[in-house]
Structures are given as C-alpha cells and as structure tokens.
Amino acid sequence: MIILVDADSCPKQARELVMRAAERTQTRAYFAANRPIPGITGDFARILVCPAGEGSADNCLTELAGRGDLAVTRDLPLAARLLEKGASVVDDRGRIYTAENIRERLSLRDFTVGLAEKGFEFERTACYGKRELKAFADSFDRLLTGLLP
C-alpha cells in the first residue's frame, strides 16, 4: 500500500498530517505537484515534481495508483480515475469518495462549472481551519487503518 497526495492544492496542515501518518505506519507517501513543495520531508515521504502541463501530476498519480492504495485529492475527475484503479480516495476536508457517490459529485461539479461559465457567481469557502483539518484527520485515519495489513 502507498499513499498518494495531489499536493498542488493540498493544504500544508493536511500534508503534514499525511507525512506523520506515513512515518508512524512506515508507509511510502508520494506527493505529486507541478512545482517543488517545501516541507515534504521524512524517510517515507517523496515529492514527485511533474512536468508543467495540464494533468501531468494527475497522470502521475493515476499511473502509481493501485488496489488498496490511499489517495488524497479534491480534484473530482482525478478522484474518479483513482477509484477506477482501486484506490480509496478522500479530500482534504474529510469527504470520502466512493464508486457509489463519485458520479453524483461529478455531475454536481459539472452543473456548477456550467453555471459559472454562464456568469453565475458562487460563494466559495477557502478557509481551512481546525474543523476542516479534524474532519480530514478522522476520515484519513479511518481509511488508513482499514487498508493497513
């Protein structure tokens, strides 16, 4: 089992939590991004700097993913690809994506994107605080514990 992180958009606090979990469980964690991300350290954490270009980090994570792996991403199309490879997927706010709920979430996302393209504006919550980190930690730990041998 490996841990895969879409590091470009993952908050620092969530990345740090993943690194601590990787050390504690001695599980390799790969952080993929299109640029170097400072602070990726430890014996079990590796940064994968992918070539510039649309989807290169997503493609890297998808190629590495397999059944029984754990992935962290808020990118819904990437989450769908990772689920198809057999990985468990959680976002940095603790939402667990499954084969049962990903289509609905993608449909809602596409609808929202379509409205935004037509000029409708939406209020976005960019705040990432203690509540969001705790929700992520709880979901991440539950999935990690269920996947460890």
Task: For residue 40, give the amino acid letter.
Answer: I
**Which pLDDT score, from 0 to 100, does residue 53 have?**
81
| Strand ranges across the sheet with 70-72 | 45-49, 29-33, 3-6, 70-72, 88-90, 96-97
Contact 72, 46 (CB under 8 A): no
- Residue-wise pLDDT tens digits, 114-147: 766 777 776 666 688 999 999 999 999 999 999 9
**Which pLDDT score, from 0 to 100, does residue 28 have?**
98
Q: What six digits make up the tokens of 27?
A: 């599980």
**Which pLDDT score, from 0 to 100, does residue 103 have?**
81
Task: For residue 1, give the amino acid letter.
Answer: M
Q: 3-state class of 144 per DSSP?
A: helix
Q: 3-state class of 31 per DSSP?
A: strand
- Residue-wise pLDDT tens digits, 36-47: 999 999 999 999
**Which pLDDT score, from 0 to 100, does residue 55 have?**
86
- Residue-wise pLDDT tens digits, 69-118: 999 999 999 999 999 999 999 999 999 999 888 887 766 666 666 766 77
Domains of the chain, with CATH numbers? 3-147 (3.40.50)
CA-closest candidate to residue 3, choices 56, 82, 112, 113: 82
> Please, how many CA atoms are within 13 Å of residue 107, restricted to the half-sphere of its CB?
5
Phi, psi of 68, rounded to the nearest 5 degrees = 90, 0
- Residue-wise pLDDT tens digits, 51-76: 988 889 999 999 999 999 999 999 99
- Residue-wise pLDDT tens digits, 10-33: 999 999 999 999 999 999 999 999
